[in-house]
Chains A and B, each alone.
Chain A
Amino acid sequence: METARWRETINLDDLWEGDMTAVTVDGEVVLLVNLDGTVLAYSNRCPHQASALDEGDLDGETLTCAKHLWEFNAATGCGINPDDAQLTRFGCQVGENGTIYVDIGPR
């Protein structure tokens, strides 16, 4: 059985509320999003054509891919337009010292 593999990434001090950034975890580029202090991790590849989501825009909870304007709810990963798309979500937690840990799961 595969067990959780938490990897240390950046510190919460480096990811402001309402901001997003990309980090690399086990060779996978991961998008970290800070929504009002809650940090979520997604694959940085847009499900449309794999464009880098961190080059897009985060406005409230709406994440917009710069390439073709696909929009997602950054809190749930669900597509807004189109509404049948879905971001790939990874495990994410914040340690007591503010370290953001990500588990991208079995490869």
Chain B
Amino acid sequence: MSRTQRKPRIVGVGGGVASAAAIAELRKEGFDGDITLVSAEDTVPYERPPLSKEFLLGRSGSVPVKDPSWYQQNAVELLLGVRATRLDLAARTVHLSDGSAVPYDQLLLATGVRPRALPGIDGAGVCYLRTVQDATELRDRINAARHVAVLGGGFIGCEVASAAIQLGKRATILEALPTLLYRALGPDLGQVVAGIHRDAGVDVRTGQPVTGLTRGPGGGVRIATGDGPVDADVLVVGVGTVPNQELAEQAGLPVGNGIVVDEYFATAVPGVWAVGDVVAQHLPRYGRRVRVEHHDTALRHGRAVARNMLGRRAPFGDVHWFWSDQFEHTISSAGLPSTDGPLIIRGSLEQRSFSAFSLDGERLSAVISLNRPKDVLDARKLIAREHRATADQLRDESLPLKRLAPSTATAPSAATASSAATASSAATPSAGTAPSAAGTPSATAPSAGTVPSARTAP
């Protein structure tokens, strides 16, 4: 290069996994312009899922998404401990809390969410959980506590109660709705989770609105409930989140329970993109906007937006997926479950090993599983591609889920080789070929779906 030309600059605002994944993908895909990451937190982006699980148990420290040295090696400028205070979309500039300003050619908003604060529920002994700083404080408080109370029986509340019990503490969950995880799982599955917590020793108090908070004996908190006061050493509040959309909103970008983006993560202003927990994304598959707070989705948002920022039109079609660990149990889910329709159960709620499917006509639309992660993997692939499924098929444990994908193979044996298909988990483009020279059995797995999907995961 004989002349220097100003390189294009991409600025990412927000220090979560979506931002980090976008930056990593930009470099991986060859973007050699300038990249600046702005984060209000004073650490490089880290994994949030362990914070309510292994981190509280002392089994894990903070796990960076990318090692701090990666940013240096990849010429990513880190502005940590700095808040973006104002966007000037006309001048393409981000103003920062330290008084400085950063110009951009393309802007990525990944400002995430914050815990919803309850009026009157604050002060000494009250903890929220979002950041590694929150988690560090909470871990110390739980370790010093005898009784941990949790306000809210959602995923955060359930995982914190699980950690508290595993650390030998008393734990109480106060939930206004009739079961735990009511909004996420619905009444029937929520009841199963409540049973798990009760069996593990958690004092689960559902249908319990909390009416106030005062200082309790011994420096703890006294929580007023409809059923009388509960005294605890620490109260963890997990009652949902609020999207950090003010920065976008004040700049005039459309918002509505999140920053509004299309399936390409584009906001209303060219060159300004948004990803992660903060976005309300219009997805044609659902015909509506969805805001999803899954770690895996944020990660995939990041990767996908990078390709769009580089000029490739890459609509987001990945199937939403999440997991939650509570005691020895794992809840996992694919798709966007609606908990008001009938659920089709494979397995047993009583045995705490099941998958609960939702059907949209003859299409599987979502699954929630307890201790059946493989079902979720199979269902996730099905949801992403063309298939037909009936309630009876989904209930039938002898029928592998992957058999529900239509096969492109037209081998004559396809219709009859059910036992062979059952034994094989082949789902490869090579399945259905003749035996190999090495003498493998003829894996004419008829069911192994190899339909090319426009929505395969990256």
Contact = CB atoms under 8 A, between A and B. Distances in A.
* B contacts with A: majority SS: loop
Interface in B375-392: 376-378, 381
B436 A37 contact: yes
Contacts of B374: 55-57, 66
Interface string B435-458: 011111101010010000000011
B377 A58 contact: no
B373 A66 contact: yes
Interface residues of A, number: 29
Contacts of A61: 428
Interface in B119-163: none
Interface stretch (B215-223, B262-270, B419-427): B419-427
B344 to A, nearest CB: 21
Given A64-B377, A68-B323, A81-B458, A59 B428 contact: yes
A83 interface: yes
B409 to A, nearest CB: 12
A37 B17 CA distance: 38
Contacts of A83: 28
A98 interface: yes
A20 B425 contact: yes
Interface string A39-78: 0000000000000000111111100101111010000000
Contact of A16 (B377, B381, B423): B423
A95 to B, nearest CB: 11
A58 B437 contact: no
Contacts of A38: 438
Interface in A4-50: 12-13, 15-20, 34, 36-38
A16 B438 contact: no
B81 interface: no
A98 B378 CA distance: 30
Nearest to A81: B458
Contacts of B296: 68-69
Contact of A19 (B49, B426, B439, B457): B426
B377 A12 contact: no
A92 interface: no
Contacts of A59: 381, 427-428
B359 to A, nearest CB: 22
B431 interface: yes
B427 A98 contact: no
B-side interface size class:
35 or more
A81 B457 CA distance: 10
A10 to B, nearest CB: 12
A66 B372 CA distance: 9
B440 A58 contact: no
Contact of B439 (A12, A18, A57, A67): A12
Contacts of A18: 424-428, 430-431, 443, 445, 448
A60 B428 contact: yes
Nearest to B427: A59
A66 B367 CA distance: 14
B168 interface: no
B357 interface: no
Contacts of A17: 426, 428, 430-431, 433, 436, 440, 443
Contacts of B437: 37
Nearest to B49: A68
B436 A66 contact: no
A57 B437 CA distance: 25
A9 to B, nearest CB: 15
Interface in B295-326: 296, 299, 303, 321, 323
B256 interface: no
B425 A67 contact: no
A85 interface: no
Interface string B269-312: 00000000000000000000000000010010001000000000
B61 interface: no
Contacts of A37: 436-438, 440
Nearest to A51: B373
Contacts of B376: 66
A36 B443 CA distance: 10
Give me the 6 closest cross-chain CB pairs, A-B, nearest first. Answer: A18-B426, A37-B436, A66-B373, A18-B428, A37-B438, A16-B443
Interface of A: 12-13, 15-20, 34, 36-38, 55-61, 64, 66-69, 71, 81, 83, 94, 98
30 contacts: A12-B438, A13-B440, A13-B441, A16-B423, A16-B440, A17-B440, A18-B424, A18-B426, A18-B428, A18-B431, A18-B445, A19-B425, A20-B425, A37-B436, A37-B437, A37-B438, A56-B374, A57-B374, A57-B381, A57-B425, A58-B425, A59-B427, A59-B428, A60-B427, A60-B430, A66-B373, A66-B376, A68-B323, A69-B296, A83-B28
